[in-house]
A and B are shown apart, each in its own frame.
Chain A
Amino acid sequence: MESFFVRFKNVLVLVAILLAQTIGLAIQVRRPIESGTPDSHQVTLIRYWVAAAVTPFERFFHAIGYNTRNAWSNYVNLRGVHQQNQDLQQEIARLRLEQAAFAEDAIQGHRLQALLAFQQNYIASTVAAQVIGTSGTDLSRLIYIDKGADYGLKPDMAVITPDGIVGKIRDVFPRTAQVLLISDQTSGAGVLLASTRILAILHGSSTGRVQITNLTADSRIKPGETVLTSGGDQIFPRGLPVGTIESIAPDPDHQPYTAIRIKPAANLSQLEEVLIITGTKSTLPLAAQKDLAAGASTAQAQAAAQAALKAKAAADAEAAAEATARSAAEVLSDRLPSLHDPNAPATPAAPGANPIVPISPAPRPLPTLHPDRYTPGDTPPASSLTPGARTHYENNAAPTPALPDNAPPRVVQKPRQTPQPATPAEPQN
């Protein structure tokens, strides 16, 4: 018996170690789920020991690199900072205008949400942290940050950047914490397609791709569509950017579903600083309310400025039309020189004033050689006419019928007035 153990001691040691680890794996996998912790207490303790041994060195190397980059960018490489500052000022101005454009809608939306008793979670407080390390393998998309339970971090808190969501806190140690990226195959998030409003579940894959695999083929879903968090996972607040749809293809592993690949909005491979959402509330934070109020006042000021501009533009248009009409009359008078009144007195222009161009009178027709009923000025006024009476020209054409006794006296046609010569019009200002 002794010779058996001596002869096969190498294999026996291997089998024993493999068996022990297999049992350990089975215990970890079959462990009943406890709220708040991803691992059992013993496993958490092992992870904590290893993290406590490794992260100080990571923190040290990270500090060296960070301070070097900081010193270089803040004290040495300042070329172009002035231009960058100007660009940022312009961008701030542009964003203020955008904010003003959205402020009214946002206020109205909040009012309607309150009216309908919608529950909405807004980010109330965040903790900024720096990424100091990774899991070291591409089979586990995990990063380590330099903040832990000392800063109030807890498992399942959402981790974001200004660009988009990053992941969630997995395990928390006193001075460091693990962040499970959304590209890990064990992570997931509830998302919403921005334009089609389709709800879906996003998860990572073993290759590090972020994808949606619970939707069937839909012609409304197009590449380039923005994906937002839906808030249904109780981790990420609603409306945070996730990414854009990169491609849509049939999923060979899960027919008839499609594999919708997402390009994350945040650069998950090179994260430097992240924000951990430590608190949410149902009302807008004070700073956001102030921003909205400022945006609304800016929008009102913009509207007033636009109204003033419109009024000014209308006045300008009216003046331009008047000037155009005036110039048309001038052109007409230039083309018809006979209409100029040679007897009109010349009015000298006052010194320093614009020369006043006299407006020619409206042209009048020449005297008619053979007047008829259509000749201007030959028609009597309507008040002087009698119903049934004949005019001067009709009397010449046909015999006059006998009038009844009660008929009004016959109107005598007035002689046609000869057109008077044109009188000069008074100059207009």
Chain B
Amino acid sequence: MRNRSYTSRRELEQHTFSPAVTLLVPLLAILLQSFLPKPFPRFAILDLPLIVVLFFAVSRRSPIAGTLTGAIVGLLQDALTNQPIGVNGMAKSAIGYIAASIGLQVDVESPLTRIVITFGFSLVNSVLLFLIDHRLLGLPDFHLLWGHELLRACANTVVAIPIFFLLDRSKRRD
């Protein structure tokens, strides 16, 4: 059996998306994230934009595309909050880059890998937000509540798996 090289694996499993999906899915995620906590307040614990960033990053397997996707989605998310614009942008840029880099190394199609990736990156996102808010912006009252963040990671994982399968249908193989 022929061994696949790093380049050949990337070429074989790299996916692209139509411009409509690329544009509308992140916007829909931001819209739902903004609207759903009003009728369902507990929905605020989720981070749908993070799930979308993870999906596009690991599917495209391009760190630059992952970084840009994370930056744009994060900046849009920041624009709807009262935080300075760039907090979520920085965190999601880093996550997009790391997720795309990991996607080059492991098989991200299996559900187990997706569970681990979503859970882990949810925690990484929380840690990055804490570092940016607490260290970079100097907000002294910002604390990292590990129990709450673990709950958030679990909720994101539960929601992310069906969303990943749903978005798999929008993939285009080159």
Point out residues on A near B: beta carbons under 8 Å.
9-10, 13-14, 17-18, 21-22, 24-25, 28-29, 38, 43, 46-47, 49-51, 53-54, 57-58, 61-62, 65, 131-140, 142-144, 170, 178, 180, 184-186, 205-207, 253, 269-270
Asked if B90 and A22 sit within 8 Å, CB to CB, the answer is yes
Asked if A139 and B83 sit within 8 Å, CB to CB, the answer is yes
B136 within 8 A of A: yes
Asked if A140 and B82 sit within 8 Å, CB to CB, the answer is yes
Set B38, B41, B64, B140: member contacting A133, Cβ < 8 A: B38
Point out residues on B near A: beta carbons under 8 Å.
27, 30-31, 33-35, 37-39, 41, 44-45, 47, 63-64, 67-68, 71, 75-77, 79-90, 93-94, 97, 101, 129, 132-133, 136-137, 139-143, 145, 148
Contacts A21-B71, A134-B37, A269-B41 given; indicate if A186 touches B82 (C-beta within 8 A): yes
Q: A13-B64, A131-B38, A136-B80 are in contact. List 4 more A-B contacts (CB 8 A).
A: A10-B63, A25-B136, A53-B27, A65-B39
What is the distance, in angstroms, from A186's C-beta to the closest C-beta of chain B? 7
User: In whole angstroms, how far apart are the Cα atoms of A47 and B86 in the complex?
Assistant: 12
User: In whole angstroms, how far apart are the Cα atoms of A170 and B83 in the complex?
Assistant: 12
Contacts A17-B71, A24-B85, A180-B82 given; indicate if A58 touches B34 (C-beta within 8 A): yes
Q: Which of chain B's residues has its CB closest to A24's CB?
A: B86
Task: Give chain A residues whose Cβ lies under 8 Å from the Cβ of B77.
Answer: 136-137
Set A50, A138, A140: member contacting B45, Cβ < 8 A: A138
User: In whole angstroms, how far apart are the Cα atoms of A270 and B88 in the complex?
Assistant: 25
What is the distance, in angstroms, from B147's C-beta to the closest C-beta of chain A? 11
Task: Give chain B residues whose Cβ lies under 8 Å from the Cβ of A62.
Answer: 35, 38
Asked if A47 and B79 sit within 8 Å, CB to CB, the answer is yes
Asked if A14 and B80 sit within 8 Å, CB to CB, the answer is no
Task: Give chain A residues whose Cβ lies under 8 Å from the Cβ of B75.
Answer: 21, 46
User: In whole angstroms, how far apart are the Cα atoms of A268 and B171 in the complex?
Assistant: 41
Task: Give chain B residues whose Cβ lies under 8 Å from the Cβ of A54.
Answer: 30-31, 34, 80
Query: Can you list 12 A-B contacts with CB-CB less than 8 angstroms, sorted by A residue number?
Result: A13-B63, A14-B97, A21-B71, A21-B90, A25-B132, A46-B85, A47-B79, A53-B27, A136-B33, A139-B83, A140-B83, A185-B139
The 3 closest A-B pairs by CB, nearest first: A140-B81, A50-B79, A136-B33
Q: Which of chain B's residues has its CB closest to A205's CB?
A: B141
Task: Give chain A residues whose Cβ lies under 8 Å from the Cβ of B129.
Answer: 139
Q: Which of chain B's residues has its CB closest to A19's CB?
A: B90
Contacts A135-B34, A206-B142, A207-B145 given; indicate if A25 touches B86 (C-beta within 8 A): yes
Task: Give chain B residues whose Cβ lies under 8 Å from the Cβ of A13.
Answer: 63-64, 67-68
Q: Which of chain A's residues has its CB closest to B48's CB?
A: A136
Q: How many A-B residue pairs have CB under 8 A?
A: 140
Q: Which of chain B's residues has its CB closest to A206's CB?
A: B142
Contacts A22-B136, A50-B76 given; indicate if A28 touches B31 (C-beta within 8 A): no
Q: Which of chain A's residues has its CB closest to B98's CB?
A: A14
Q: Select the residue from A49, A50, A207 with max chain B CB neighbours within 10 A.
A: A50
User: In whole angstroms, how far apart are the Cα atoms of A18 and B136 in the complex?
Assistant: 13
What is the distance, in angstroms, from B99's C-beta to the closest C-beta of chain A? 12
Task: Give chain B residues whose Cβ lies under 8 Å from the Cβ of A133.
Answer: 34-35, 38
Task: Give chain B residues whose Cβ lies under 8 Å from the Cβ of A47.
Answer: 79-80, 85
User: In whole angstroms, how far apart are the Cα atoms of A312 and B79 in the complex?
Assistant: 72
User: In whole angstroms, how far apart are the Cα atoms of A65 and B38 in the complex?
Assistant: 11
Set B31, B67, B84, B140: member contacting A25, Cβ < 8 A: B84
Asked if A46 and B82 sit within 8 Å, CB to CB, the answer is no
Contacts A18-B90, A29-B137 given; indicate if A46 touches B79 (C-beta within 8 A): yes
Task: Give chain B residues whose Cβ lies under 8 Å from the Cβ of A186.
Answer: 82
Contacts A25-B87, A57-B31 given; indicate if A136 touches B44 (C-beta within 8 A): yes
Q: Select the residue from B35, B133, B141, B148 with max chain A CB neighbours within 10 A.
A: B35
What is the distance, in angstroms, from B134's C-beta to the closest C-beta of chain A? 10
What is the distance, in angstroms, from B51's C-beta to the closest C-beta of chain A? 13
Contacts A132-B38, A178-B82 given; indicate if A206 touches B143 (C-beta within 8 A): yes
Q: Which of chain B's residues has its CB closest to A47's CB?
A: B79
What is the distance, in angstroms, from B44's C-beta to the closest C-beta of chain A? 4
User: In whole angstroms, how far apart are the Cα atoms of A270 and B43 in the complex?
Assistant: 12
Task: Give chain B residues whose Cβ lies under 8 Å from the Cβ of A131.
Answer: 38
Set B85, B97, B141: member contacting A28, Cβ < 8 A: B85
Asked if A136 and B71 sit within 8 Å, CB to CB, the answer is no
Q: Which of chain B's residues has its CB closest to A181's CB?
A: B82
Task: Give chain B residues whose Cβ lies under 8 Å from the Cβ of A21.
Answer: 71, 75, 86, 89-90, 93
User: In whole angstroms, how far apart are the Cα atoms of A136 and B76 in the complex?
Assistant: 11
Asked if B93 and A142 sit within 8 Å, CB to CB, the answer is no
Task: Give chain A residues whose Cβ lies under 8 Å from the Cβ of B84.
Answer: 24-25, 28-29, 43
User: In whole angstroms, how far apart are the Cα atoms of A178 and B41 in the complex?
Assistant: 18
Set A24, A136, A253: member contacting B81, Cβ < 8 A: A136
Task: Give chain B residues whose Cβ lies under 8 Å from the Cβ of A17.
Answer: 67-68, 71, 93
Contacts A57-B35, A185-B141, A206-B143 given; indicate if A136 touches B30 (C-beta within 8 A): yes
